[in-house]
Amino acid sequence: MTFHNCSHLLAVVLSIICPGMGQLLLGKIKKGLSFLGITALFVSAYFLVIRKPIHAFFTLSSFGNVYDSRHILLVGIISLCVVTIYLLFHISNVVQIVTLLKGTENKRRVAIRFKPYFYISGSVFLVFLVIFVPFLFGIALAFTNYNLYHSPPRSHFEWVGLANFTKLFRTSSPWWSQFKAVFLWNITYAVLGSFISFSVGLLLSLVLNNPRIRGRRFFRTVLFLPWAIPSTISIMVFSGLFNTNFGAVNQILESIGFHAIPWFQNKFFARVAVILVHVWISTPFNIAMASAALKSIPNQLYEAAKLDGASRLQAFFKITCPLLMKILAPILILMIAGNFNNFGIIYLLTNGGPAISGSRGIGGTDILMTWIYNLGFSQLQWAMASALTVIVFAFVVVFSLINLKLSGATRQINEGR
Amino acid sequence: MKERKTHIYTILSYCVLITACVIVLYPILWVIASSFKSSGLVGSSLIPKNFTFENYMDIFRNENANFTRWFINSIVISTISAFMTLSIVMPASYACSRMNFRGKKFLLITFLTLQMFPAFMSAIALYTIFAWLRLVDTYLGLVIIYCANTVPFSLWIMKNYFDSIPFEIEESAFVDGATMFQSFTHILLPMARPIIYVVFLISFLGSYCEYLLANIILMSGKKWTLALGMRSLTVSQFSTNWPVFSAISVVSAVPIVILFFLSERYLTSGLTQGAIK
């Protein structure tokens, strides 16, 4: 990058010091003034409002009339968000000046208009408040000692650094053995549950796709019923069906000569029940997915294969299978990630049970999310619960990155209009 | 030989389908049958011995079960959150589809990722924040959460749908002197009717019988939604009254099932569309 003269260098330096000055120097009066205005607004807001909460955030000490540590944390996070947004603005302002001077200004450069920002503001605000801020808040809590003994408003909590995580991952601590047990079952549940319902869904969609079958519409409607019924209701109904004493499943088993199965008293059977209910509920979605994928395979491929003398089995394994897998692989990842936190079934069906002796409160079907929920809302171990949540977040991020890569969503946006 | 093989395939297919249907239908028929059984143990049979409408009469007059109240609460909350989702998502997806602006790509990617972080994952933080904002134990709090939960996914499918409507039609309207708002209300909205139904339904169905978030936000029994109320019936310390519970399940599920199948084509394509191109 070469600067033609001193004034260009001055413009860059000025824009680094104060956004808007550079634009003014280069004769972009309107833009320069509006940028100056934004900067002035931020600087005054910083000294009048934001500075104290940010300071309080790092020390977790009270400021003004805010004494509750949780509120200090929250206001601090929001203030830090404001600062981050300003910094992004500041950097983009410098980048703008530099591209302007280099003369390689993108021809499709987007003029700043306020209308689109106005249109998206509702969604952004809502998602910011309900998903993003709680997300940051949860991460922050994981580094504090917020628990029964340090619980505002009676008391206050402090930063403890990585203490919660070292507690969790030190192999000698009871937390580690609990975490290991819960995590292993969580993975098994997510992978096995998704995989079984995926295979069943694929099989059923292939069968439903067979033109020789009569009454396909009827079968399809029946098979879609579990999707139509609110899942909360189905899960509660299943808790009755699987009831050890009066449940219909055991009565049927006994009437054909088997023993009654202690569905919710035995760890293994409770896990089987959870996965069975999961498969019952989520198979229709998988059928729909697989059918949509099957429809997207062009028919010409099969015709060409037929001409070349391929048998139906060959066509299935050489055309249908690979193409289906290519389309459905990202969805399978997405489903595994979703199931990793699919906490409704376990919470409503077994509530994490059955209790296992010597495991300090975790049950045979507890997954990370149910464990977190109980740690927080019934044992008031908020900080530990948040540390576990951070681990879950990390997992979901990894899954979603894989999915993003596989499904090519980024490419799609780049190619979009 | 080939003919016989095809026959075996067909027979096997029927076997698979019929088995699947039996597994799907048994729990459903069992609940329906149980709802007509007289109270006590419900058993596994699908035909009630003493056929009675008593349970259905019960749920509408039982003072303890407050079924009507829960039902109305659920309907009101999910309808409001569906309308709110629509009113927030429509302009946003219009902007994302028809306008170019700085940060659009970032927004879309963020929303795509956030879709995988349902609100209950940060339940603890959410509870703290909403307690401070005094939104705990209010309908508004729950509506806001439901709405935020559906916004990212809805924005994506709606943007994709708008993308599939050619821009030229609107352009010609602009040439004729229409404003952007006019072209939105007069051209795009009528054409986008299917996706509006889909977003409305996804939002409605998602919140109608939601349990976990409602359990965090709503405390007092008067404000309970269906899911909370039904749960309180199944875990009550006294013997669970399955026939009454079954009747409630049937009454709450039937409208949803009808709604689902009336809009099945739209709905299933909407829900699978996000994933399959």
- Looking at residue B57, its pLDDT comes to 83
More confident residue, A79 or B240: A79
B136, B219 contact by CB (below 8 A): yes
**Nearest Cα to B149, choosing from B205, B97, B193?**
B205
Q: A110 touching B, CB under 8 A? A: yes
A137, A383 contact by CB (below 8 A): no
| Residue A72 CB partners (closer than 8 Å, separation 6+) | A53, A56, A57, A60, A61, A62, A63, A66
For an interface test with A, which of B117, B208, B210, B271 has the most A Cβ atoms less than 10 Å from its Cβ?
A: B117
- Looking at residue B194, its pLDDT comes to 85
Q: Do B17 and A219 touch (CB under 8 A)?
A: yes
Determine the distance from the C-alpha atom of residue A78 to the mean position of all C-alpha atoms in its chain, rounded to a whole number: 21
Q: Do B132 and A70 touch (CB under 8 A)?
A: yes
Inter-chain Cβ pairs, chain A and chain B, closer than 8 A: 274
- pLDDT tens for chain B, 277 residues long, are 567 777 888 888 999 999 999 999 999 999 998 888 876 666 777 777 778 888 888 788 766 668 888 899 999 999 999 999 999 999 999 999 888 888 888 888 888 777 777 777 788 888 888 988 899 999 999 999 999 989 988 998 898 888 888 888 888 888 888 887 788 888 888 888 888 988 999 899 889 988 888 988 998 878 889 889 888 887 765 556 788 888 889 999 999 999 988 888 777 777 666 555 4
Return the amino acid letter for B57: M
Contacts of A237 in chain B (CB under 8 A): 27, 30-31, 246, 249
Residue range A311-340, pLDDT digits in tens:
878 888 888 888 888 888 877 887 888 888
What is the overall mean pLDDT for chain A? Answer: 85
ipTM over 0.95: no
For chain A, percent of residues with pLDDT exceeding 90: 24
A352, A346 contact by CB (below 8 A): yes
Q: How far is A27 from chain B (nearest CA, A)?
A: 23
Residue range A380-413, pLDDT digits in tens:
888 999 999 898 888 888 887 787 777 665 555 5
Contacts of B167 in chain A (CB under 8 A): 417
Instruction: Tell me which residue has tokens 């955030």.
Output: A57
The average pLDDT across A255-278 equals 90
- Looking at residue A199, its pLDDT comes to 93
Q: A233 touching B, CB under 8 A? A: yes
From chain B residues 50-79, the ones with a CB under 8 A of any chain A CB are none
Residue range A212-239, pLDDT digits in tens:
888 888 999 999 999 999 999 999 999 8
Which pTM value belongs to this model? Answer: 0.86
Q: B120 touching A, CB under 8 A? A: yes
Q: Do B260 and A237 touch (CB under 8 A)?
A: no
Residue range A100-141, pLDDT digits in tens:
777 655 544 545 577 888 999 999 999 988 888 988 998 999
Residue range A164-216, pLDDT digits in tens:
999 888 888 888 888 998 999 999 999 999 999 999 999 999 899 888 888 88
Backbone φ and ψ of A93, nearest 5°: -65, -45
Residue burial B61-98, b: 16+ Cβ < 10 Å; e: rest: eeeebbbebbbebbbebbbbbbebbbebbbbbbbbbbb
- Residue A272: HSE in the Cβ half-sphere, 13 Å Cα cutoff: 10
Spatial separation of the C-alpha atoms in residues A216 and A211, rounded to whole Å: 8
Banded pLDDT at A293 (limits 50, 70, 90): confident
Number of Cβ within 10 Å of residue A371's Cβ equals 24
Backbone φ and ψ of A19, nearest 5°: -55, 140
| pLDDT higher than 60, residue A156 | yes
Spatial separation of the C-alpha atoms in residues B184 and B244, rounded to whole Å: 49
